[in-house]
Amino acid sequence: MITNIDIPGLELLHRGKVRDSFRIDATRRLIVVTDRISAFDLKIKTPIPRKGEVLNRLAAFWFDETKAIVENHLHAVVDPQAMVVTEATPIRVEMVVRGAISGSMWRGYQKGVRTFSGVTVGEGLTENALLPEPIVTPTTKEESDREITPKEIVDTGLVSRATYVQMEQTALALFQKGRDVAARRGLILADTKYEFGLVGDALILIDEIHTPDSSRFWDREAYDADPANVPSFDKEFVRKWMRRNQVSGELPTVLPDDVVAETARRYATLFERVTGQSLGPAEDDAEARLLKNLVTARILRDSKAPVSSRRGAS
C-alpha cells in the first residue's frame, strides 16, 4: 500500500487527506492517490488496500467520459495510483449535487432543517428518497467544509456571478452524464461533488469525479427492494461504523480488519461495475511500481532513487 510518500527530486506541494501533490514544472504536477481514508474531517489511521488505485483509475475513466462536457486537468495516467495534471488555480468551492436525500442532508432533515445552501426542500421526505430534480448545495473548500449559498459565493468574491452559473450548469450536466452511465450498469448515482479550477479564464474540472470518495452509488435492484437500507458503494459504510462505535462522543480513527476488508470490497466492486474492467491482481510492492513508472514517464531520472513512505495516515 501507499500511505505517506516522499519522492526525492520532486517538491511536495500539498499533502491532503488522500492525495499528495508534487511539482513537475510550472505547468504540471504529479498527484499520487494514496490508500488513506478520511471521514467526518478526521484522518483515519488505517489505510484501505487498493483504495488509491480505485480512485485514480476510476477518475481517469470519468474524465474521459465527460471531456465533451468540460475540459479537465488530466494530462496523463502514469501509474495505477498517480496521474500528471495541468496546473490550475483552484476555486475554493465544492459543487455538491444531490439527486437523493441521504447522508448529511438526511441527518439535517431529521433535525428539522429544510434549507440547504439556499435550496429549500419539501416536507414528507424519507431517507434516501430520490428528489424530483437534482439540486446543487455548494460548500466551502476548507479544513471543515460548510454550506454556502450561491449569493454568498459571489458576494464574498470566490467567483464572479457568470463563473458560478457556469459551474452550476456544468455540475448538473456532469451529474446527468454520471447518472446515465450508472443506470446502464444497474446503479444509481445518488449524490456527488465536483471541484473546478481556472487555467487563464477557462473553467476546468479538477481533483476527482464520480469516485467512491466523492460520490454515493447504490445498486438499483437493492434500492428498489429497500430504499431506506440500501448499501452504498462508498465510504458511508465507514462513517456508519464510526458513528456506531464512538466512545464518549469521540469517533474512532482505527478501523478493524473486517471493516477494512468490506470497504476495499465495495470500492473494487464499484470500479468493476462502472468501468467493466477487472481491477486485476494486487502488486506486491506498489511503491516500487510507482517509482519504476515515474522513471518510464521521464518524471524521475534515477531508477535507483528511493521512494520513502511513512506508514499510517497523517
Contact 5, 31 (CB under 8 A): no
Contact 17, 44 (CB under 8 A): no
Contact 86, 174 (CB under 8 A): no
CA–CA gap between residue 101 and residue 216 (Å, rounded) = 11
Write the DSSP symbol of residue 254.
S
Q: Mean pLDDT for each 10-residue chunk of the chain (314 residues)?
A: 91 95 97 95 94 98 98 98 98 98 95 96 96 97 85 97 98 98 98 98 97 97 96 92 94 97 97 95 92 94 54 38
pLDDT of residue 88: 98
pLDDT of residue 314: 32
CA–CA gap between residue 143 and residue 265 (Å, rounded) = 29
Neighbours of 46 (CB within 10 A): 20
Residue with cell string 479544513: 143
CA–CA gap between residue 168 and residue 91 (Å, rounded) = 13
Sequence spans of domains, the chain? 4-88+259-310, 89-229
pLDDT of residue 313: 37
pLDDT of residue 8: 86
Contact 39, 242 (CB under 8 A): yes
Contact 262, 46 (CB under 8 A): no
CA–CA gap between residue 134 and residue 290 (Å, rounded) = 39
pLDDT of residue 302: 67
Select from 221, 216, 213 the least CA-distant residue to 185.
221
pTM comes to 0.93
Superfamily for the 89-229 domain: ATP-grasp fold, B domain (3.30.470.20)
Contact 126, 227 (CB under 8 A): yes
Q: Which residues contact 109 (CB under 8 A, 6 or more apart)?
A: 101, 121, 125
Q: Domain 4-88+259-310: which topology? A: Phosphorylase Kinase; domain 1 (3.30.200)
Q: Is 257 exposed, middle or buried (0-12, 13-18, 19+ CB in 10 A)?
A: exposed
pLDDT of residue 141: 86
Residue 35 C-beta-side C-alpha neighbours within 13 Å: 22
